[in-house]
Structure 1
C-alpha cells in the first residue's frame, strides 16, 4: 500500500486522461471487477453490457452524462436465490449509481472521484466511496475507501469504512490486465441477497479485458478465489454518428457562377424553390425577393440539426443570388410558423465556404433574430411557394419496459407504431399513431390504489392494438417571443382530453417561462376509443434555462400533478451534436393525500432519445426513445404530450 501511495504522489510520471482505463466493472460502472476507480466514461458515451460471476448476473447501462459525471443503471439477477414468490423465480434487483469526478488527473494530481452505489431502488447493495487513480503508463494505480457494501472488510484502524486497491496494466491498445483487493464481505450482505453466506475464499480478483473493436469489449476474470467471471460490453458516443454522413449534393455549384451571370427576380425565386423542393428535406417552402434580399422560408423535416438545414438552404440561395442581392435570409418555421430568422451577406457566406473566413468570425457576421409573424408581402415582392398536406409518416419500432412492483422483475413489450401527421393549415397538425403489439410478457400482480394514475400502466402494456395518439394540435405565434398550444383528442395511450400551453422567451432566449394545463379522462385499456368515468387535471408553471456551453436544458415545473399531488418536478436534458438526447427527472411533491406505495415516494428516472440517423449515412429526424424509472407510480405524473412548446 505504501508503494502505491508513493507512486500516486509522483508528479512526473502520470498521464492526464482516463483512457485506456475507463473500462466497465462487474456491476457496470467504470472500475476493475468489484471495486471502482476514479475514471469515468467519456462525455456523451453510452455503454451497454452483461457480466456474470456465479451466482450473479448483471445487465448494465452506463452514460457519460457530463464531462465530470457518470451514471449507471444495473439489473441484477441472483441465480438459485429465491425471490420469495415461486412464480417469479430467482431474486432480481435494480439499482442506480452515480460517480462524480471531482478532480481529473493532471501532471501534479491524481484523478479523484466520489461515488454513490444503489442510491435508488432496494438499496440492498448500497455504498459510498472515494477513489484516487494515477497513471504511470502503462500502469494505473487505484486506492480508495468506502462505506456500506464496500466496508465489508474493515480498515485496520477503523470500522467506519473499508479500504480497496487495484492495479491495471495496458499491455497494448486492446488488452488490459487487472488485479484488485476487494473489501466486500459476502457473508454480511443483507439476508434477501446473501447468496454466499459462507463468504469467499479470497479478496483478490484478477483478470483481463480485451477490446475486440472500438465498440465491443469482452473480459474474463478469476474472482473470490473460486469463480470464473465473464463480461461483454458495447459502447458508442452519442455525440458522433456511427457512419459518416453522405455529403449534400452540389456542394460547390456557386463557385462556377460567372460574374456576368444575371438572373431576374422571378428566375432566382423559381430556381431556388425548385432546388429546395428537390432536396426532399424541406416542406412548406416559400422563396421571395424583397428589395435586395433573397429570402427562403422553409420547414426542416429531415435534418436533426437546424444549423445544417439552414446551411443547405443558404448554399442554394447563394447559387441563385445575382450581384444585386445584398442579403440572404433563411427563416426556419414550424408548421408554417416562422420561428428563427438567419441572415448573412452573399460575400461573407462565399468567403466562409471557401475558407477565407474563419468559423468564429463568420458567427459574428451572422444575424440571428426571432422571425416576425407572417404578414402580407410588400407589393414589389416576387414570391413562389410549395406546401404539403402530409408532412410526416412511417412505421417505428417501440420497446417498453416495466419493473413489477412486487418482485422487481423486468418485463418488456415490443410493438410497431404506424404513424402519420397532416398539416391542413398553418400551425395545425392532425396526428395519428397506432400501437400494434408484437410481443409482451407484461403480467403484473400489483395491488393498485383506489384511483391509479400511472401505477396501472401495465394494463395498457398488456393490451391489444390501440391508438397511441389520435389528436389535433394547434400552435399559434402571438408575438415574436410568445407561443401558445391547444391540443385535443386521444392525447396518449392512457388519457384523452384537452390541454393548452403558453410560453414566452426572455432576454437572449436562454430563459423561458410558461403555463400549461390539461383536463383528461382515462381510457379503457382494451378498447380503441373507450373511456372510463375517471377524470383528472393538471395546472403547472414551467421555467426553462438553456446553458449553451454544454447544450443543457434545465426545466422546473411547479403546481398540481395528475394524482392531485402538488409540488415540483425537475428535469435536465443534454443534447449532443448528433441530435441524441438524454436526461433525468425528479419530482418532490406533497403525497399526504395519496395512499399505499405512493405516500412518501419521489418519482425519478432517466430517458434517452437516439436518432436513427446515427446508424445511417443519410439524414432523418426519426428517433428511438426509451425511458426507465425505479417504479411506475402515481407521484409527479403529467400528461405525455406529443410536442411541447
Structure 2
C-alpha cells in the first residue's frame, strides 16, 4: 500500500517538475505574451483569482488593490500590493460570524504571498505558487501550486493543487511524501494568538485539486465558474449550507479601477464583492497640473552685461522674489565672476530635479551675461547637502531638444557640499504656520476595525538661525471615535503603546508635538540632528542622531540615542513616572529599481532589545509601500496577541492626488494589533529620508523633471 501511494506521488511530482522544466525551456524559445501574465480579477481572499480559488497570473506591477467581500455572514477586507511583476502580498482582515453565546463578532488577521514563477507562452501555461495565512492564527492557512492557460483571448482555464485549507474536499495522498514521510500528516489547527510562521506545516497533509474557467464576455463583463476545494470547517463559524463545491459568478468592470462582483457559492449562498485598484506609478493628472516654468533667457539678452553694470542687491532681490513664487527660498548667494553660486531650500516640489530646473531658469533670466556657470546648492533644514553645477550655454541650447534631460545630465556635475555660502540676512529668521484639517485613523482594532478622529491642526515653524528650528502642533478634535474602544490593556510589559486609547479621551486642545531641533554637518558625508521637547503624543525627551550617507552610495549607516519620559494622557505639558533610554544602530540600503531596505538594531520603549527589518518600494513621485517586522527578546507569550510587531506602512503624496506640487504626504501604518513589544519612538525629522531625497541618486532618478 505504501509503495503504491508513493508511486502515485512520484507520478504527480514528475508531472509538475516536467511542466516546470519545459516551461523554463519554452519561455526561452517562445515569446511570452505580456497580456497573458495579468490576472483579470481578485478572489474573495484578495488574491489574483477566480471566485474563491487563485489563478497563476499576477496583477499589474505596483498595483495596490483593496477588496471587500461578504457571504454567509463573513466579511473579508484585503489590501494587496503587487510588490514586483511576479510577487504580490496581501493583508487580510476577516470579520467572522458570532460564536454561540457571544455578543461580539470575532475577527482574524493574516498575510498571504503569491508568486508567478512561470509566464504563459504560446503553448505552456502560467504557473504560480502561493501561501495563505503565513503570519496569522492559521484559520485560513493553505498553500497551492496553480496553472492557468488562455484557451482563446477571452477564455481562460485554471487548475491547481492545494494543501491545508485548500485540501478540505476531494483530498488524496500528498505527492510530496515521495521526499519525506513528514509530508503525510499536517498538524491539527490549534488556534492561538497568531504571529507564528509555522513553516513546518506548509505543503503537509492531503492535497486536492481545484480549478475553474473565466470568460470575458464583453469589455466590462466577466463570467466565472469554479470548483472549490475548501470545505469551510466548523472552526470558521460560517453560516453556510455547503451543498456543492461549484461556484458561479460574474464581475462587472464599472470603471478602470472599480469592479463589482456577485456570486452563487456552494449551492446555497449569494456573495457580493467590491474591488478597487490603483497604481502608484500613474496619476490621474499625468505629469502634473503645475504652472509652466519660465523660459530660459539667453545670456546675450541678460538684464546686464556685467555685475558692475547692475546693483547686485537688485539682482538678489529679483531672484528672491521670482524663486519665492516657485516655492523656493534663496538662502545664500556668491558671485565668483563667471560662476554664480546660490543655495536654495525647496519648499514645494516632491522631486528635487524639478526644483533645480526652476531655479536654473530663473537664474538665466537675472544673472549678468558674464556668468557662464550656475552652481546650485540644495539644503535640507537649511543644511547644505548637494551641489549641482550647470553650464549656462547647455541650458540655452537644450531647452527644446527632444532628449534634453540626457544631454544636459552629461555636462552636469553633482557632488556633496558642506559650504553654506554667504547667507542672506533676509532669509532668517523664517516663520511659517498653517491651519488645516487632520484625520487620525486607527485600523484593525480587534474590537473595532475602523476608528478615527477628525479635527483642526494649527502648526508652526520658526527658524531663527540656519539649522535651528522650533516647531509645534496644536490639535482641536471636532468629532471621532478613537476614545470609544473598550479594550483594556492586559500587557505584562510597560504600557508604552497599549494604552494609546487613553491619549484620545480629552476633547480639549492637545499638544501632539513641541520641539526644538538643530541640524548640522559634522564632517564629510555626515549629517547630525539633536531634538528636544514633546517628540510625539506619548513621549517627550531628547533625541540625537548621526547619519553617514555619501552621495552615490547605496549604503547608509546611522545611530540614534534617546532619553524619553512618558507623557500625561491629556497631551498637555505633564509627564508620568515611566522613563527609558532607547537607541538604535541603523543600516539603509538602496537596491535600485525603487526597492529599499532598512535594518534597525537596538533598544525599544518597553526596554526590550531586538531588531526591525523594513522592506519598501518607493516611487519617484513620493509613493511608498513598506512592510516591517520587529523581533525582540520579549517572548510571544509576553508580547500577547500577534506574537510580535509587524505591519504595512503607506505614504501617499498629496501631489499625486491633486496633480499640483505639494510637499505634504499622507502616512498610514496598518498593524494587525498595537502592542508594547518592539515599540520605537516616533521622532519627527529623522535624517535619512530627507537627506537621501536631496542627493545624486534621487536627483538622477527623476532628472527628466528638470524641464518640467
TM-score of the two chains, using structure 2 as the length reference: 0.82
Q: Distance between the aligned counterparts of 1:527 and 1:268, measured in 2?
A: 48
1:177-256 to structure 2, matched below 5 A, reads: 177-186=223-232, 188-189=233-234, 191=235, 193-196=236-239, 200-244=242-286, 248-249=290-291, 251=293, 253-254=295-296
Q: 2:318 aligns with which of 271, 277, 300?
A: 271
Question: Which residue of 360, 368, 378 corresponds with 1:314?
Answer: 360
Query: What displacement does 1:485 show?
Result: 0.9
Tell me which of 654, 679, 683 is aligned to 1:641. Answer: 683
Indicate the residue corresponding to 1:395 in structure 2: 436
CA displacement at 1:157 relative to structure 2: 5.3
* Partner of residue 501, structure 1: 545
User: What is the deviation of 1:274?
Assistant: 2.4
Tell me: CA distance 1:268–1:283, structure 2 relative to 1, closer, same or farther (3 Å).
closer
Q: 1:619 to 1:507 in 2, by over 3 A?
A: closer
2:60 aligns to what SS in structure 1? Answer: coil
Match for residue 189 of structure 2?
Answer: none
Residues 1:491 and 2:556 are matched in the alignment: no
Q: Decide whether aligned partners of structure 1 residues 513 and 310 sit closer, same or farther in structure 2, where only a CA change above 3 A counts.
A: same
The alignment status of 1:355 with 2:401, answered yes or no, reads yes
1:595 Cα deviation from its structure 2 partner? 6.6
Deviations 1:525-546 (A, max 9, x none): 1351221111112121111111
Counterpart in the other structure of 1:380:
none
Which of 646, 653, 664 pairs up with 1:604?
646
Which of 392, 405, 413 lines up with 2:452 in the alignment? 413
**Structure 1 residue 572 corresponds to structure 2 residue 572:** no
**2:473 is aligned with 1:433:** yes
Structure-to-structure mapping, 1:84-163, within 5 angstroms:
85-86=102-103, 89-107=104-122, 109-135=124-150, 136-156=152-172, 158=174, 160-163=206-209
Deviations 1:549-587 (A, max 9, x none): x22221111122222222211112221132111111111
Shift of 1:72: 1.5
Unaligned runs of 5+ in 2: 1-11, 175-204, 688-708
In structure 1, what is the equivalent of residue 95 of structure 2? 77
- For 1:205-258, what per-residue CA distance to the aligned partner results, in whole angstroms no more than 9, with x for missing partners? 121212111122211111111222211222221122222465554535226776
For 2:701, the equivalent position in structure 1 comes to none
Distance 1:322 1:206 in 2: 74
Work out whether residues 429 and 473 of structure 1, in 8 Å CA contact, stay in contact via their aligned partners in 2: yes
Contact 1:545–1:555, Cα closer than 8 Å, also in 2: yes
Aligned-residue offset at 1:598: 4.5
Contact 2:93–2:444 (CA under 8 A) maintained in structure 1: no
- TM-score relative to the length of structure 1: 0.89
> Is the CA contact 2:428–2:465 (under 8 Å) kept in the aligned structure 1?
no
Q: Which residue matches 2:58?
A: 40
Q: 1:350 to 1:177 in 2, by over 3 A?
A: farther
Matches of 1:500 and 1:64 in 2, distance apart? 37
C-alpha distance in 1, partners of 2:300/2:371?
15
The 8 Å contact of residues 413 and 442 in structure 1, kept in 2 or not, is answered as no
Give a deviation string over 1:295-336, Cα, whole Å, max 9, x none.
Answer: 332111111111211121122223334443221222111121
2:539/2:567 contact within 8 Å kept = yes
* 1:44–1:576 contact (8 Å) kept in structure 2: no
1:163-182 map, 5 Å: 163-182=209-228
Relative to 1, partners in 2 of residues 1:617 and 1:20: Cα closer, same or farther, differing over 3 Å? same
Counterpart contact for 1:288–1:384, Cα < 8 Å:
no
Measured in 1, the distance between the counterparts of 2:563 and 2:496 equals 13
Q: Which ranges of structure 1 fall in alignment gaps of 5 or more residues?
A: 378-382
Matched, 1:303 2:349: yes
1:14–1:134 Cα contact (<8 Å) kept: no
Question: How many Å apart are 1:506 and its aligned residue?
Answer: 4.4
- In structure 2, what is the Cα distance between the partners aligned to 1:539 and 1:164? 50
Contact 1:402-1:442 at 8 Å conserved across structures? no
| Structure 1 residue aligned with 2:659 | 617
Q: Taking structure 1 as reference, are residues 182 and 345 closer, same or farther at Cα in structure 2, changes over 3 Å only?
A: same
Q: Are positions 1:54 and 2:72 aligned together?
A: yes
